[in-house]
Amino acid sequence: MNTSPLLARRTKAPAAPPLLSRADVLARLRNSAPGPVHIIDPFKVPQDEAVRKAEALDELGYPALILASTDYESFESRMDPYVAAVKEASSLPVLLHFPPRKGIGFPLVRGADAIVLPALLGSRDDYYVWKSYLETLLTLPARVDHEDWPELLLTVALTFGEDSRTGDLLGTEPVATSTTRQMDQYLAVARSFGFHMVYLYSRNAQVPVEVVRHFRKGLDDGQILFVSGNVRRRAHVTRYLEAGADFVGFAGALEHPDWRDTLAELTGRGAP
């Protein structure tokens, strides 16, 4: 697939620099070729396995590694050594993608390069729509020294298909796809407020390809489109990239002993 038009779209009109930028992760993502990105759940995947995967992803030229989970406990004690080990093993920027908790905001770890801050526009609870942003900014100085602040990636996050787990935890309702009205409303918010990314996710199915295509057409230059959920084969990655996704996330596809073979197939570049 010829990806040069996508690269041109992302680089010809750079957006304003991200808030509290430290590692230029946003610039790296915008300048990277569209492709797959691996998501590791550090509360499911052992640390030594994550290190081996980070090394393999680095060798394959992946743009970043995302550590993410819907549920988490004892965050700092688990994540501090986890992030440090991954960072020592590879040169990949480490992005955190975890839901916020009331009273603290989004969890963070020293050494992480960036945090995906999702505005859950489809949530019934305005804390997860926008208040968590403010709480994170208010608590950030007390939690991490200024020089260790991660880059904040402001993201519209939307869920598709039935997802009672996320709904119960974060009050989200799936985006309607029978018409484009609701999607167009979310696109207008993403453009008006200059979000860095839009993240489309389906826990139990896959985000429809026509939805990805619609969002790509509606976003501004420089706004990154990320899609994930049940991506398990190279054909899934290719289909989303051809529809206009910048990055296609996959997680559970590598949660088995033969993950190297699956990684090679998903990447389409040969075994690491």
Q: Which two tokens stand for residue 19?
A: 């808030």
Strand, coil or helix: what is 105? strand
| Phi and psi at residue 218, to the nearest 5° | -90, -10
Q: How far apart are CA 168 and CA 124, in angstroms?
A: 11
Q: Which tens digit of pLDDT belongs to each residue from 24-74?
A: 999 999 999 999 999 999 999 999 999 999 999 999 999 999 999 998 989
Average pLDDT, the chain: 90
Beta carbons of 119 and 195 less than 8 angstroms apart: yes
Burial class (CB in 10 A: 0-12, 13-18, 19+), 241: buried
Q: What is the pLDDT of residues 204-236, one digit of tens each?
A: 999 999 999 999 999 999 999 999 999 999 999
Residue pLDDT, tens place only, 89-104: 999 999 999 999 999 9
Task: Note the pLDDT tens digit of each residue in 162-205.
Answer: 888 888 889 999 999 999 999 999 999 999 999 999 999 999 99
- Kindly state the DSSP code that residue 222 receives in the 8-state scheme: T
pLDDT surpasses 90 at 117: yes
Q: For residue 111, give the DSSP letter.
A: T
Q: 259-267 and 47-59 helices cross at what angle (nearest 10)?
A: 30
What pLDDT does residue 141 have?
86
Kindly tell me if the per-residue pLDDT of 22 is higher than 90. Answer: no
| One CATH from 3.40.50.720, 3.30.1130.10, 3.20.20.390, 3.50.50.60 for 4-267 | 3.20.20.390
